[in-house]
Structures are given as C-alpha cells and as structure tokens.
Homo-oligomer: A and B are copies of this chain.
C-alpha cells in the first residue's frame, strides 16, 4: 500500500540529503528543510523542491513528520526550542534513546534509524538499508513503518537498548574496519604499491563473514600464532608507533579469541 506523507527535514547533512532524495524519489513530499545555516537549508531544499528555514520557531506545522537528521549532540538543543509538541517527530540517530522526546515534553515521537554509512557524493542503495524503527505509540509506529517499508526491504522494530548494541557492533564492523582500510592504503601508498591489489582479498574476507562465523574464518599470522612473522611485521612498523600498537593489540586479541 502506498501512503504518501509530507515530511519536514531537520538538518541538511549527509543523512538528510540521502534520505531526502530517496523520499522524494519514492513519491513523498518534503515540505520544508531546516538548517541553522540558511545556505545549507536552501541548498538541500532546492534539490527537494521544498521550502527552507534557519529558524526552528518559524517551522511550518503543515507536515506529517518532523525527521531530525542532526548530529547527536545538537538534537537536545533543537528539541528545547521546538514549537510543536503534539505532532509526530522522529530522529535518525543510532545512539539517542527514544525517551529524549518524552524528556522534552513531546507526545508523539519515534526513531527512524538507517543502519548505514552515508558519505557526501556517494549514492547508497537505500532499498537494502536496514531501518530500525521505534515509537511512542502504535499509530506513530505505523507511520514510521509505512515510510520505511516504502523505501527499504529491510525494516526492523528495534528497541533503544537493541539499537545501542547494534550501533556499538556497527562501529567495530564499519567505522573501525574503514580505518584499517585507511591504514592499509597508507602502507601501500608509501611504497608506490596499488591499494587495489588488496580488493579481491577484502571482498573475499567480507563475503566469507556472512557465509560462516568470522571467528572460524580467521586466517593470518596471529591465527597461526606465528611469533616470528608478527615480530617481523611489528619491526617493519617501527616508524609508525600508532599502527604498531594497533597491530600488537589486534594480534593479541586474535590469539586470545582462539584459545
């Protein structure tokens, strides 16, 4: 069933941009875009054929949902000044509890968390993105689930506690992994080697992780407890003590995890 809602975006960063585009592409109306920078609000609003404002107290109330796409540490201050407490409002954060809305006197609220990494200028296949939905009441939940199900095939009802756990796991599986890729690229770049040589290896590692438990798929010097090779690699990293420390700690952790 296609139910079209009018949505107001609070924020104009990566999450607001990606969600705004996919919502418009799926027939939703973005009514208004708020950003504390009027330029940013207008920039995104123009793409989405929406109005723009940088005054939270001047927001239109002609909307079905206020969708907050802001950094975690700015959400609270926006809620303090928010003019409408009886309309549906949701945030998109992995870590802010649902209760933040109650604490600020809201009556209908929810969470609409896309478990994905969004970067500027990089399109994401939103229809595969898991959306984690939670709400204050059934009617609000139905609206959020309806929107999520119209843009993604991966929609979950997830409590604030579960969302926090998923977020911690995601930091390990995505943010930290990306940092390791970054270190690997720094190493290959430093010696004029092509980082792309590592692509088949990385693809295979990632593919395997969802076919068998990654713990059982572990390979490498630490898995074999090859002390000589580990010492060689640590010596090679002597000029980069930060990376040496990471190599040491993760190798020890692999060795311990296989005991």
Contact = CB atoms under 8 A, between A and B. Distances in A.
A80 interface: no
Contacts of A236: 164-165, 168
Given A115-B197, A116-B201, A187-B168, A175 B219 contact: yes
A132 to B, nearest CB: 8
B175 A191 contact: no
A166 interface: yes
A118 interface: yes
Nearest to A234: B168
How many chain copies?
Answer: 2
Interface string A138-180: 0000000000000000101000001011111111111111111
A27 interface: no
Contact of A119 (B95, B195, B203, B219): B219
A81 interface: no
Interface residues of A, number: 92
B177 A208 contact: no
Given A202-B209, A249-B246, A173 B180 contact: yes
Contact of A72 (B122, B211, B223, B229): B229
A135 B71 CA distance: 54
A256 interface: yes
Given A117-B219, A180-B177, A188 B169 contact: yes
Interface stretch (A2-10, A32-40, A58-66, A123-131): A123-131
